């Protein structure tokens, strides 16, 4: 039996990039020390979640994702040293365009590719449409050293279409770096809703699903968000295998036999019995049956 061990980390971010990268590196090391081969760090971990307000100056946080990117370079070195796969979530500047992006770094430090967040949220406290163009990469899965991994970024996690697409593309596991917490206007606590939706992706696609969320209270002037952590790893039936609390820094790990899960996925028949010819409405915005 060959298993893949996944690690998920959560921590509080400050407004200091070096501090945040050091915290991420420290926790990735801890996860690798516990045997993790793929380690998920939270969304936009270089800094505070600036999208809680709309301010022109925050665009200066973006960088081109090339060799000059210090955080990307540090994470690639770390991946190579520890022999771990690292999905790295970053604010990308590409010419005049800005994306909420993820670089998939393999266990030798090489870059497997780029994903740009497809679903961009907007609403009080989460004003991402002000900053990010909707991603133009389409969904992505990568054949890493330790399994084929699909990654969605935060708001992507609410869309079963995205999870199913990555499953159809051959993913063995789905990973979601995220930044979510309090709702400033309604006060709604979305934690269980958030987890339940992703656990559904695990059960519906018969594969491990995990999310890494930040913790801590972040303030911009009068504005304030409390991030609820609660990062987790779900097994292929949607069961919670490892979970974090709302406010403590945590390293989670869990091991899965991805080959055995692949066989179970085939045997359960969910993919055999799909009826894509009946799903045309899913490819329309308004639910009409006219496609194309
Ligand atoms: N990270 C986006 C979350 C949106 C919650 N309203």
Report, as an integer, the average pLDDT of 119-137: 98
Closest residue by CA, ligand 1 atom 4: 126
Contact present, 231 and 252 (Cβ < 8 Å): yes
Question: Token pair of 191, please?
Answer: 């934690």
Ligand 1 atom closest to the Cα of residue 43 is 1
Cα–Cα distance between 91 and 132 in angstroms, integer? 9
Protein residues whose CB sits closer than 6 Å to any atom of ligand 1: 121, 123, 126, 154-155, 179-180
Catalytic residues: 43, 117, 154
Buried b (16+ CB within 10 A) or exposed e, 43-82: bbbbbbbbbbeeeeebeebbbebeeebebbebbbebbbeb
Q: Ligand 1, residues 45, 50, 117, 123: which to mutate, most atoms within 8 A of Cβ?
A: 123
How many CA atoms within 13 Å lie on the side-chain side of 239? 6
- At 267 the three-state DSSP class reads helix
Q: Ligand 1, residues 43, 152, 154, 156: which to mutate, most atoms within 8 A of Cβ?
A: 154
Provide the pLDDT confidence category of residue 1 given band limits of 50, 70 and 90. confident
Write down the mean pLDDT value for the chain. 97
Contact present, 92 and 65 (Cβ < 8 Å): yes
- Strand ranges for the chain from DSSP E: 4-10, 38-40, 86-94, 97-105, 111-116, 141-144, 147-151, 173-178, 209-213, 215-220, 223-228, 232-234, 240-243, 250-256
- At 13 the three-state DSSP class reads coil
Closest residue by CA, ligand 1 atom 3: 180
Handedness of CA 22, 229, 155, 14 (dihedral sign): negative
Radius of gyration of the chain (CA): 18
Contact present, 86 and 75 (Cβ < 8 Å): yes
State the distance from the centre of ligand 1 to the C-alpha of 77, rounded, in angstroms.
31
State the distance from the centre of ligand 1 to the C-alpha of 68, rounded, in angstroms.
30
Cα–Cα distance between 58 and 67 in angstroms, integer? 22
Cα–Cα distance between 179 and 9 in angstroms, integer? 13
State the distance from the centre of ligand 1 to the C-alpha of 84, rounded, in angstroms.
29
State the distance from the centre of ligand 1 to the C-alpha of 31, rounded, in angstroms.
27
Q: What is the pLDDT of residue 124?
A: 97
ipTM above 0.85, yes or no: yes
Ligand 1 atom closest to the Cα of residue 49 is 1
pLDDT at 292 over 70: no
Q: Which of 157, 262, 150 is nearest to 206 (CA)?
A: 262
Least confident of 130-134, 248-252, 258-262, 287-291: 287-291
Read off the pLDDT of residues 205-222 as tens digits, 9 standing for 90 and up.
999 999 999 999 999 999
Read off the pLDDT of residues 167-217 as tens digits, 9 standing for 90 and up.
999 999 999 999 999 999 999 999 999 999 999 999 999 999 999 999 999
* Global pTM value: 0.97
| H-helix segments, the chain | 17-33, 70-82, 160-168, 191-205, 258-268
Q: Which of 175, 155, 161, 164 is nearest to 256 (CA)?
A: 175
DSSP label at residue 135:
P
User: How many C-beta neighbours within 10 Å does residue 178 have?
Assistant: 26
Cα–Cα distance between 218 and 139 in angstroms, integer? 30
């Amino acid at each position: 039996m060959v298993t893949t061990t996944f690690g998920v980390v959560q921590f509080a971010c400050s407004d200091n990039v070096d501090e945040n990268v050091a915290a991420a590196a420290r926790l990735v090391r801890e996860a690798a020390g516990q045997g993790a081969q793929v380690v998920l760090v939270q969304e936009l971990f270089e800094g505070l979640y600036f999208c809680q307000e709309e301010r022109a100056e925050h665009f200066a946080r973006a960088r081109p994702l090339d060799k000059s990117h210090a955080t990307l370079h540090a994470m690639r070195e770390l991946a190579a040293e520890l022999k771990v796969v690292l999905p790295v979530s970053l604010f990308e500047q590409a010419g005049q365009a800005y994306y909420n992006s993820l670089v998939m770094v393999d266990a030798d430090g090489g870059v497997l590719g780029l994903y740009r967040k497809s679903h961009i949220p907007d609403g009080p406290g989460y004003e991402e449409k002000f900053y990010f163009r909707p991603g133009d990469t389409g969904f992505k899965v990568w054949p890493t050293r330790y399994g084929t991994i699909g990654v969605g970024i935060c708001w992507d996690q609410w869309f079963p279409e995205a999870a199913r697409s990555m499953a159809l593309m051959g993913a063995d596991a789905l990973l979601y770096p995220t930044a979510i917490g309090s709702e400033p206007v309604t006060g709604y606590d979305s934690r269980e809703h958030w987890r339940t939706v992703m656990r559904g992706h695990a059960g519906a696609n018969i594969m491990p699903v995990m999310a890494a969320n930040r913790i801590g209270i972040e303030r911009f002037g009068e504005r304030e968000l409390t991030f609820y952590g609660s990062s987790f790893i779900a097994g292929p039936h949607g069961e919670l295998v490892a979970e974090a609390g709302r406010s403590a820094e945590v390293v989670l790990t869990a091991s899965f036999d991805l080959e055995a899960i692949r066989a179970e996925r085939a045997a359960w028949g969910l993919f055999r019995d799909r009826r894509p010819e009946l799903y045309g409405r899913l490819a329309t915005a308004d639910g009409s049956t006219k496609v194309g």
